[in-house]
Amino acid sequence: MKTILPALAAIFILLTATVSCRHGGGSDGSDSDSASHRFPDTLRVVTLYSPASYFIYRGQEMGYDYELVTALAVDKGLTLRVDIAPSLSRAVEMLDSGLVDLIAYEVPVTAEYKEKVVACGPENITTQVLVQPKRGDTELITDVTDLVGKDVYVEADSKYEARMINLNQELGGGIRIHPVNRDTMITEDLIAMVSDGELPLTVVDSDIARINKTYYNDLDITMPLSFEQRSAWAVAPDRAWLGDSINAWLNTDNHRSEQARLLKRYFELSKEEPGNSGFVSTAGRVSPFDHLFQKYAGQYDWDWRLLASQAYVESKFDSTAVSWAGARGLMQIMPRTAKGYGQSAKSVMNKDVAIETSLKLLRDLDKQLTPRVPDPEERKKFVIASYNSGLAHVLDAIALAEKYGLDPQKWDDNVAKAILWKSNPRYYKDPVVRFGYSRGRETFDYVNRVYAYYAKSKIHA
């Protein structure tokens, strides 16, 4: 299957029910907590779509839990099979019935789960925290009593609303709690609105807050509002030995270092676009590389100014840029995409290679979207969105738009609206959605920023 178009190949992989790969170069799998137990030749894992555990980004599987369990399989020379459950309760059922060996997802360490699972692997400790903006000399809230008289926006009927109601009662009242309809706004939206100054305060779990702070560096998330909650991976009670073996594997210097690297990648590294260009478009000049965009874009029937606008949003015209996800170069091409077009992660740092590879990808995305979006000008927005998130998520947004009465052939106010829903569990768990969670706001904003620069470039060029 490696000979088909890379974007199609990615979709083919993602359409399968499991992910299966044989990793060489590890041990013989004989490590165990006792002579009577060994790691299974095939490690059957279940996880859930989420911004931390598992998601698809530009056709590539990612997520803290997914990458850590993959490292385990590689090191032990195991075949890894990954299933995606629609809910935590279903994942526990799969574990109990013997369909899987391990839940690689944050299972709460509570009495509710104690009878059903044995905790193992990386421990995650979270609290609910206050999300507040850092604005110049404005003092931050550092004590819960300072919330009296303040407006706090939370998801309606959520644990955050319940916590704020209880806290308000403990303080004798005075906190103005605003429940927000969860069908239209979710945690990520509320965090973005605090960053933009549209809302004053919100409340989320600390792990979600940490991820989102990597997108919005102007936020403070240091104020805890609840007791700590522990969570970890889980195995079945009758396979506690497997949990011990995973703990033993994780409790070595090399693997602690790998865990620390992944924690930094997902919870600390800035997710803002790489690059820092001082270039300012002027009359007759859109970018520092106009000659290269013009040279290659004409060969692929693509507006060179639109391509230059993408390069600006992707890397600020920095051909040395490397993103948190590993996207590289002027056009921020993922290593898997580069390989699909016969290039290496190193070669796409070359400006010529990056531009031509991106045009090949844009051409292939355009071909695949033509049957769904006949209008060529309208289709460009779908293509650009697919370049950002991966075609799979755009196809999901088209399906959602069609189901919920929007025009599946129009981007603005239609599929663009549906792509935002891909961050909302109500929608990314919808039966018409095949590729789960995506940070839809990122794709929505990406298309808008590309076209804003494109409008400016048409004036200057």
Phi, psi dihedral angles at 4 (to 5 degrees): -80, 170
What percentage of the chain reaches a pLDDT higher than 90? 80
Under the banding of pLDDT at 50, 70 and 90, the label for residue 281 is: low
pLDDT score for 282: 66
Residues facing 103 on adjacent strands = 46, 234
Phi, psi dihedral angles at 407 (to 5 degrees): -80, 110
* Residue 282: DSSP 8-state: B
Span 64-72, mean pLDDT? 97
Q: Which two tokens stand for residue 453?
A: 């620069």
The answer, yes or no, to whether residue 125 has pLDDT greater than 50, is: yes
Query: How many CB atoms are closer than 10 A to CB 141?
Result: 15
CA neighbours closer than 13 Å in the CB half-sphere of residue 454? 17
Query: Between 165 and 254, where is the model more confident?
Result: 165
When mean pLDDT is compared across 23-37, 69-83, 201-215, the lowest value belongs to 23-37
pLDDT score for 11: 41
Under the banding of pLDDT at 50, 70 and 90, the label for residue 418 is: very high
Identify the CA nearest to 364 among candidates 418, 305, 412, 302: 302
> Residue 177, class by beta-carbon neighbours within 10 Å (0-12 exposed, 13-18 middle, 19+ buried)?
middle
The answer, yes or no, to whether residue 259 has pLDDT greater than 90, is: yes
Q: Are 396 and 422 in contact (CB under 8 A)?
A: yes
Question: Sign of the C-alpha dihedral, residues 445, 449, 454, 456?
Answer: positive
Q: Please give the Cα distance from 237 to 259 (Å, whole number).
A: 25
The answer, yes or no, to whether residue 29 has pLDDT greater than 80, is: no
> Across all residues in the chain, what is the average pLDDT?
89
Report the predicted TM-score, pTM, of the whole model to 2 decimal places: 0.84
pLDDT score for 22: 32
For residue 90, give Cα distances in angstroms to 44, 48, 86, 99, 362. 15, 10, 7, 11, 38
The pairing of beta strand 42-47 with beta strand 229-235:
unpaired
Q: Please give the Cα distance from 181 to 161 (Å, whole number).
A: 12
Span 297-321, mean pLDDT? 95
Q: Which tens digit of pLDDT belongs to each residue from 147-180?
A: 999 999 999 999 999 999 999 999 999 999 999 9
Reduce the DSSP state of residue 180 to 3 states and report it: strand
Phi, psi dihedral angles at 87 (to 5 degrees): -160, 165
Span 63-70, mean pLDDT? 97
What percentage of the chain reaches a pLDDT higher than 70? 89
pLDDT score for 280: 59
Query: Between 47 and 272, where is the model more confident?
Result: 47
pLDDT score for 278: 55
3-state secondary structure 17-72: CCEEEECCCCCCCCCCCCCCCCCCCEEEEEECCECCCEEEECCEEECHHHHHHHHH
pLDDT score for 103: 98
For residue 235, give Cα distances in angstroms to 188, 240, 241, 243, 344. 30, 6, 9, 6, 38
pLDDT score for 277: 56
